[in-house]
Structure 1
Amino acid sequence: MTLTLDAILRSAGIAPADAQVIRHAFVREHEDTGLPGIHADSTDAEILRYTSQQSMKPKIFPANPPRIWIVCIREGGDRARLWSALENRGEVSNDGALRTFDLVVSDLLADLRNRLVIGWKSPRTWRLNGPTAANYPVMEIADAQPIPFPGFDRLVLDHAQLQAVMRDHRYAAWRTALSSVVGVYLITDMLDGRQYVGKADGVESIRQRWGAYAANGHGGNVELRGLDPTTFRYSTLRVFDPATPTRVIDETESHFKFALGTRKGGLNRN
């Protein structure tokens, strides 16, 4: 049985009727608008801007485009590699010939960016409605390139990144590193700057402790309940070998609470 784009979309929670698929080719100039095209060295921002500008002509582009735009890059005449899924937040300008849309990069299909390749049956077609594209075959899902661990001194994650680290196979080296240490860490609420100093000790590694934050946002800490974890930033203050006595970790945690003032002006209650 052939795997089609339909299964990929639905597994990501995307109904084909709510999507369209665009295949960009590298061109010097956009044939519909006369605007500069994209090339192999175009940045993500340039591709996003290029995608956001579309023709007024309904024969070229739908009058009411769907909410999700699946954007691919042409590979030969019969293949398209996923660049990104975008959320269409509506038209923001219209000069009578060209419409500009507010497009935002979505987390949908994020783990398949640059990995998913679908067959493209009509070489001259650059846009498909979702139900039509859903029947196109999946040609390849390439192995993702692993992301190297930056080291504990440079480790800073927001909540979405923390969740990715805990589940995405590209971050396997990160999980291994976080599993190998205990220690003291910092959570900063970027909304108001308040900080929380926490620890992982005994049989609980930093990976296990942070896994709880990734799962529910507060990790069981009373101080963090009711706050929005999407505004949190996570970093390590000091890491130790798991054989380190608990009292050493406790002393280190107490030191950072005092040094950073997290009992009086932060999120620590004790």
Structure 2
Amino acid sequence: MTLTLEPILRSAGIDPGQALVIRHAYVREHDTGLSGIHADSTDDEILQYTREQSTDSRRFPTVPPRTWIVFIREGGDRARLWSVLENHGETGHDGSRRTFDLVESGLLSDLRNRLVIGWRSPRTWRLNGTTAADYPVMEIADAQPVPFPGFDRLILDHAHLQAVMREHRYAAWRTALSSVVGVYLITDTRNGRHYVGKADGAENIRQRWNAYAANGHGGNVELRGLDPTSFRFSLLRVFDPATPTSEIDAAESHFKNALDTRRHGLNRN
């Protein structure tokens, strides 16, 4: 059985019936005189290009849906995923062109530049989601590996932490985090309150952080009931796994005192 786009959309929570699918082609300038995009266009340039659409209802829907799934043309019969955008409404109308407030949604972000579908209508540049949902998946390419930035440069929000623990492109990060124990910091960015924690003994940083990726609180009473989407994770100090637990305990206590996380943060002890 051929894999189609539909199950991929639905697994991301996208209803094909409430989505618009666009395939951009590389055209430096259209017949209308408007600038197009090319192979060296930045993401910002492609986003700006997508924001501007025709006022002709035969060319573009009068009331477009909230979700826009944007592909880039590859040959006549293929399209590679660029991004999934949220349409927050029309912001301009000059009689011939409409401008929309579009922002990247994060949906299908792990498949950006990897997912390739067959495009059955080579002259068609936009489709409703239900039509595109039946288009075949031609390829899901291996993700390009992301170099590990170093322990002292690691700052992750919760969504990024989940990606690091799950996606193939972050394999080097997981290897690095598996090689150390130590003391870490969680910051609730809504109010600036800190939580200092540790991974020691048989539990390395990767294992400890994987628990946070899974449920947001990692089993810590202090963090239960808080929204993990506002959490930011970083490392304060890392140790070789052979380091005595007492040394790691002392480092954890030092940072709790230095950051005053018992009185003004999220640590209870």
Coarse TM-score class (shorter-chain normalised): over 0.9
SS of residue paired to 1:164? helix
Q: Where does residue 225 of structure 1 map in the other structure?
A: 224
AA in 2 matched with 1:205: N
Structure 1 ranges of 4+ moved more than 6 A: none
Pairing 1:97-116 to 2, within 5 Å after superposition: 97-116=96-115
Offset of 1:193 from its aligned partner?
Answer: 1.7
AA in 2 matched with 1:43: T
Pairing 1:49-68 to 2, within 5 Å after superposition: 49-68=48-67
Offset of 1:157 from its aligned partner?
Answer: 0.5
Offset of 1:29 from its aligned partner?
Answer: 2.4
AA in 2 matched with 1:28: R
In the alignment, structure 1 segments of 5+ residues that lack a partner are none
SS of residue paired to 2:176? helix
Q: Where does residue 88 of structure 1 map in the other structure?
A: 87
Q: Distance in 1 between matches of 2:60 and 2:5?
A: 22
Q: Where does residue 165 of structure 1 map in the other structure?
A: 164
Q: Where does residue 257 of structure 1 map in the other structure?
A: 256
Q: Distance in 1 between matches of 2:235 and 2:177?
A: 10
Q: Distance in 2 between matches of 1:96 and 1:16?
A: 30
Pairing 1:1-270 to 2, within 5 Å after superposition: 1-31=1-31, 34-270=33-269
Aligned pairs, number = 269
Q: Percent of aligned pairs with the same residue?
A: 78
Offset of 1:11 from its aligned partner?
Answer: 2.6
Deviations 1:125-176 (A, max 9, x none): 1111111112222221111111121111111111110111111111111112
TM-score, scaled relative to structure 1? 0.94
AA in 2 matched with 1:124: R
Q: Distance in 1 between matches of 2:38 and 2:162?
A: 33
In the alignment, structure 2 segments of 5+ residues that lack a partner are none
Q: Distance in 2 between matches of 1:202 and 1:31?
A: 67
